[in-house]
Homo-oligomer: A and B are copies of this chain.
Amino acid sequence: MGKILRINTRTKSHTFEEVAGDLAGLGGRALTSKMILNEVPATCHPLGKSNKLVFSPGLLAGSAAANSGRLSVGGKSPLTGGIKESNSGGFAAQKLAKLGISALVLEDKPEVPGYSMIVIKENSVEIVPADEFNEKGNYEIMEKLWDSYGKKTAVLSIGQAGEQRLKAASIQQADMNGRPGRALGRGGLGAVMGSKKIKAILVDDSGASRVDIKDSDAFKTANKKWVEMLRGHSVTGEGLPALGTAVLVNIINEAGAYPTKNFRDGRFDGAQATSGEKIAELIEERGGITTEGCHPGCVMKCSNVYHDKDGKYLTTGFEYETIWAMGAHTTIKEIDDIAMLDRLCDDFGLDTIETGVTIGVAMEGGMLEWGDGKGAINLLKKVEAGGYEGKIIGNGAGFTGDALGVDRIPVVKNQALPAYDPRAVKGVGVTYATTPMGADHTAGYGVTANILGVGGNIDPLKNEGNIDLSQNLQIATAAIDSAGLCLFVAFAVLDNEDGVQTIVDMINAQYGLSLTPDDVVNLGKSVLRDEKEFNRRAGFTKVDDQLPEMFNDKFPPHDTQWDFTTDELQKTLDF
């Protein structure tokens, strides 16, 4: 295992220490959640000196394992008030792993003004002034940093939203082209980075040796099988590479589960115009890239680069969730407006799900008209300027609903619901309600067996089986996030009886261990237990593991309701 690099943001000093005690053997989400539980007082203010921000590559990061380059970041969330792990692709996870860094921890907070930047290289850690980037967006920051530090440097940065310590603030990570297309988006951890006055983190692994693999033959064998498995599955090998995540627009709309106009209807009359098929067609016409990985070693390449109608670059990482949040949820139908909203979020450093849902709630509260794309763009730009409208919007859906006195606010633990209605995809609804993260589809993606027929078939409209489905997926996901693997590997793993074993084989070969699939399950459970324990200490109860009352209403076209009791839902993470 590697070392923990701790940076005191007040004294501008750093230390290295061994990964020891109950942290030994952990990586990614398992490590961030354990460290937050151990070291952060659960009742502290998320923007105060007692909160910490922990970045950790997964266990397989830096190896040749396909799709193992996700970086986790953990902390107490300013959005939810509970524990948070958020992860993204990019270069940083693999470079940190190669530098032997299992966790980078930002501690304390400065008492004086001025932003800093952390530069991590093979034999040095520097904390240098970064005031040139004050009030700058992520596009400019990343472009300048790649110019100065080279185009192989991993960059994590915050935009104006993080500086303003807004609850929807993301940490953006430079993508394959050095643009802020990847987001450690959910839960407002960009605000924690802002509170610690760190504007950017650079990781340069030049000169570092490769990650040590204990049994390289066994590793190669397992990884070969792994790549074949991913390439051979219809979702990871065909659907995602061809149309990206936006392939889901038509699928979920067809299923009557595509939440439209702030969760009033399951079908959107603008779905075709904003579908993956339409976007692929436009990229074909205008230039851009349909099939792009989010980190080196990705074999699915579900990301993209999207150009405007003049053929000029507009945005990157233009994903299903963003298209939904800015589109169906707000009833904006103009795809280029939606793409601009995505770009602005990346630039200012805002979670696109939270922000899109917020714009819909702002429409609910009369701040602008339903479907007004240009109005939404103008509103979002207020975040850049630091105006008070921007401070409302940038603090998320719950905050905006409260500012406007709206009682129809689709949040759990104050985090906005993603792009599947919980009444029409009940497996993912159970995850929204019960994950310690707040409403989060990636914590246990029940869409698999509910809609996609992956890993079995469970009726999305009925309660039966959906608590078990969410439980199993939440456990598996916690383990996948700890390995540093892309969540989408789950499609192939769920449909392949050797799936979990293959991951275990890679970990065993890398570390010289003899883990079993049961150990992986136990790891996943242990991560969830840590997270629940933090939330318990922070004052969360079963009352927080439920959807808001707006979901008691019937949801067309299937006219189903959310009718799990709070006690039923408690069984989900009761192990």
Q: Residues on A close to B: CB < 8 A?
A: 41-48, 50, 78, 164-167, 191, 194-195, 387-389, 391-392, 395, 399, 402-407, 409, 537-541, 543-544, 546, 548-549
Contact = CB atoms under 8 A, between A and B. Distances in A.
20 contacts: A42-B543, A43-B546, A43-B549, A44-B549, A46-B407, A47-B405, A48-B407, A48-B549, A50-B549, A191-B405, A388-B403, A391-B403, A392-B392, A392-B403, A399-B402, A399-B403, A537-B543, A538-B543, A539-B543, A539-B544
A563 to B, nearest CB: 15
Nearest to A394: B403
B538 A165 contact: no
A409 B45 CA distance: 9
Contacts of A537: 543
10 closest A-B pairs by CB: A165-B405, A539-B543, A45-B407, A48-B407, A47-B407, A388-B388, A391-B403, A388-B389, A539-B541, A539-B544
Contacts of A194: 405
Nearest to A566: B43
A520 to B, nearest CB: 33
Interface of A is mostly: loop
Nearest to A387: B388
A402 B549 contact: no
A228 to B, nearest CB: 48
Given A45-B407, A166-B405, A399-B399, 13 more contacts: A46-B407, A47-B406, A48-B407, A50-B549, A194-B405, A195-B405, A388-B388, A388-B391, A391-B392, A391-B404, A395-B403, A539-B540, A541-B541
A370 to B, nearest CB: 17
Nearest to A391: B403
Nearest to A169: B405
Contacts of A166: 405
Nearest to A167: B402
Nearest to A548: B45
Contacts of A409: 45
A540 B403 CA distance: 23
A402 B400 CA distance: 12
A434 to B, nearest CB: 14
A85 B50 CA distance: 34
A164 B405 CA distance: 6
Nearest to A79: B402
A540 B538 CA distance: 11
Contact of A395 (B45, B48, B402, B406): B402
A313 to B, nearest CB: 32
A374 to B, nearest CB: 19
Contact of A543 (B43, B46, B402, B406): B43
Q: Which of A43, A167, A191 has the most CB of B within 10 A?
A: A43
A379 to B, nearest CB: 11
A561 B191 CA distance: 29
A47 to B, nearest CB: 4
Contacts of A405: 47, 164-166, 191, 194-195
Nearest to A406: B47
A537 B395 CA distance: 27
Given A44-B549, A541-B539, A392 B388 contact: yes
Contacts of A389: 388
Contacts of A45: 407, 409, 548-549
Nearest to A166: B405
A543 B533 CA distance: 13
Contacts of A42: 543
Contacts of A44: 549
Contacts of A165: 404-405
A527 B563 CA distance: 32
A541 to B, nearest CB: 5
A391 B165 CA distance: 19
A195 B408 CA distance: 13
Contacts of A392: 388, 391-392, 403
A47 B387 CA distance: 27
A520 B44 CA distance: 39
